[in-house]
Homo-oligomer: A and B are copies of this chain.
Amino acid sequence: MKQYLPHKYKLKLQVFQKEPDFGKGIVQLMQLVEEKESLSAAYRQMGMAASKAWKILNRAEQDLGISLIDRSPGGSHGGHSKLTSEGKDLMERYLKFQQEVEDAADAAFSKYFN
C-alpha cells in the first residue's frame, strides 16, 4: 500500500426535485419521530434547534410537494407527531438507496485506495 493514500472517505447523498434537500439529517430526524412520536423529542435528541428542524422539514416538503410529518399542536403536554405514509415510504426508499451506495463505495474505496 502506498503510504500517502487517504484512509477515509465521506459520502453525502441527497434526493430531490429542484434543490438538494433530503438526506441523512432529515432521515435521522424522521426515524426519531417514528420512534418517539414527537418532533420536539426527535430534534432535541439530535441536539438540533427547533428552528433548524422546521427549516429542513419545510424546505424538503416544499421541494418534494408532499407532507413528511403530521404535526399536532403542542399544548401543555407537547404535541404528538408521526410520519405520513408518503414520508415513511420515502424514508424507507432512501435508507435502501443509501445502504446500497455505501456498500458499493466501501468496496470501491478498498479497491482503489489500498
Chain A residues with CB under 8 Å of chain B are 2, 4-17, 20, 22, 64-66, 86, 89-90, 93-94, 96-97, 100-101, 104-105, 108-109, 111-113
Contacts and interface: CB of A to CB of B under 8 A. Distances in A.
Contacts of A4: 64-66, 86, 90
Contacts of A14: 9-10
A6 B6 CA distance: 33
A62 to B, nearest CB: 13
Q: Is the interface of A mostly helix, strand, loop or mixed?
A: mixed
A22 B6 contact: yes
Nearest to A107: B100
A80 B108 CA distance: 34
Contact of A101 (B17, B94, B101): B101
Contacts of A15: 6, 8-9, 109, 113
A113 B93 contact: yes
